[in-house]
Amino acid sequence: MTTKMRSEIAEQPAALRATLDALLPQVEEVRRLGARTRQLLFIARGTSDNAAVYGRYLIEAHAGRLCALAAPSIATTYRRRLDLDGVLAVAVSQSGRTEEIVETLDWAKECGARTVAITNGGPESPLALSADLALCTVAGEEKAVPATKTYTTQLAAMAVLALGLDADVNAADLDRVPDAVEKLIENPGDLDALVDGLADKPGVVVSGRGLAFSTALELALKLKEACYLHAMGLSYADLLHGPIAVVDEDTPAILVAAQDGPTLPGTIALAERVTGAGAASFGVGGGSRLAAASTASLHGPDLPEWVAPLGLIVPGQLLTEALARRLGIDPDAPRGLNKVTQTD
């Protein structure tokens, strides 16, 4: 039986094509709005927060603007006004109906920020209606609780946002993304080996750095919510500052990297350190060099680092779905979770 999650993973190439077709014409609108600002504030929770981490690294590394992740409780619980003059506040929500995120975006506007919404909820969703500009993704309805196509299309919206903020990237790279994702779905790599390697483990460390850090966080979240693993998502820089002590025979590491970029050598070195200590190291992406340093590996996308996260998460989604089924868990409806989460 094919799960809803697996079907929605397969829908991602079409969802990405539709989203890019819809959003790329809005680059000039982003540019006009962004011209009145100097830094960004991302407002999000959960999976959307991981998409915001990608946006932060992308825009700081390639558009040279300072970014921060908001603490919504400052707006909704502490009710503290801040000076947000010159800030572009970007709220991210799959449904566009999470009240805390809508309220925080309204607060940001009242504090002087210009506002952008990234949502799959459509132009009539509360979040889109609250924003100065809405970047509405075109993923279609997502029925499985774990986000797949709504997450990758959020990343596509972040890439469009970066283009509008004059990032020093090649916009044509986005044209290659849907085909690269399709190729990964058809051939993700040694999926069975990773499922076997994780099926009897209580936990796992998932690590990446830079632009791949968002993928590590998102994969760890997926393994937690759909497979009930104690999965820790960390930058490998933070991992080396102490938590690496938890990596052992019972706690393998999943290491995530693009096929190029400045963080790849450090990821390879970490894989060698993990396997040298007798633990399993599973690579995701990173090309042939990370694969050679790993116990087993999944393929990454044939994409430059700045857009690699749009494909890099896909083998991890397939791993999550396959592992959940191996463990006897329905990945479409993990216990205790709903599709739209409301927080105070």
CATH of the domain at 112: 3.40.50.10490
Q: What is the pLDDT of residues 109-146, one digit of tens each?
A: 999 999 999 999 999 999 999 999 999 999 999 999 99
Whether residue 266 lies inside any domain: the answer is: yes
Distance of CA 23 to the CA centre of its chain: 18
Residue 334 lies in a domain: no
**3-class secondary-structure state, position 332:** coil
Same domain, yes or no: 93 and 122: yes
Residues 322 and 192 occupy one common structural domain:
yes
Q: What is the model's pLDDT at position 339?
A: 46
**In the predicted model, is pLDDT for residue 336 greater than 60?**
no
pLDDT band at 9 (very low <50, low <70, confident <90, very high): very high
Same domain, 320 and 251: yes
How many CB atoms neighbour CB 116 within 10 A? 29
d(CA 215, CA 188): 16
Q: What is the DSSP letter of 303?
A: S
Position 264 in a domain: yes
119 and 203 part of one domain: no
* Confidence band, pLDDT 50/70/90 cuts, at residue 343: low
Model confidence band, residue 236 (pLDDT cutoffs 50, 70, 90) = confident
29 shares its domain with 102: yes
Dist CA 3 CA 334 (whole Å): 13
Nearby residues of 181 by Cβ (< 8 Å), 6 or more positions away: 12, 13, 16, 152, 301, 310, 311, 314
Half-sphere exposure of 95 (CA within 13 A, CB side): 15
Q: Are 313 and 187 part of one and the same domain?
A: yes
**pLDDT for the residue numbered 121:** 97
Residue 336 maps to a domain: no
Q: End of a domain among 111, 142, 169?
A: 169
Distance of CA 267 to the CA centre of its chain: 18
Q: Compute CA 211 distance to the chain's CA centroid, rounded to the nearest angstrom.
A: 10
Max distance between CA atoms of the chain, in angstroms, equals 55
Is 203 found in the same domain as 148? no
Lowest mean pLDDT among 46-60, 217-231, 241-255: 241-255
Contact between 188 and 181 under an 8 Å Cβ cutoff? The reply is no
**Judgement on whether residues 259 and 281 belong to the same structural domain of the protein:** yes
* Best CA proximity match to 267, nearest among 295, 246, 237, 309: 237
DSSP 232-279: EEEEHHHHTTTGGGG-BTTB-EEEEE-SSSTTHHHHHHHHHHHHHTT-
How far is it, in rounded angstroms, from Cα 23 to Cα 226?
Answer: 30
Residue 174 is assigned to a structural domain of this protein? no
Q: Which residues contact 288 (CB under 8 A, 6 or more apart)?
A: none
Q: How far apart are CA 132 and CA 26, in angstroms?
A: 13
Answer yes or no: are the C-beta atoms of 311 and 184 closer than 8 Å. Answer: yes
Residue 20 pLDDT: 98
Is there a single domain that holds both residue 15 and residue 152?
yes
339 in a structural domain:
no
- Report the pLDDT averaged over residues 70-84: 97
257-277 residue pLDDT tens: 999 999 999 999 999 988 888
Q: Would 89 be classed as within a structural domain?
A: yes
304 and 188, same structural domain? yes
d(CA 233, CA 222): 11
Q: In what order do the strands lie in the sheet with 87-93?
A: 66-69, 39-43, 87-93, 114-119, 133-136
pLDDT tens string 276-331: 888 899 999 999 999 999 999 999 999 999 999 999 999 999 999 999 999 999 99
Does the pLDDT of residue 158 top 90, yes or no? yes
Q: What is the average per-residue pLDDT within 251-262?
A: 96
Range of the domain at 25: 4-169
Instruction: Write down the pTM of the prediction.
Output: 0.95
Confidence of residue 234 (pLDDT cuts 50, 70, 90): confident
Q: Phi and psi for 88 in degrees, rounded to 5?
A: -100, 110
263, 257 Cβ separation under 8 angstroms: yes
Same domain, 162 and 199: no
How many domains does the chain fold into?
2
Q: Are residues 123 and 237 in the same domain?
A: no
332 domain residue, yes or no: no
- At residue 344, the pLDDT reads 55
Residue-averaged pLDDT of the chain? 94
Tokens of 333: 């409806």
331: Cα within 13 Å, side-chain hemisphere = 30
By percentage, how much of the chain surpasses pLDDT 90? 89
- Check: CB of residue 310 under 8 Å from CB of residue 16: yes
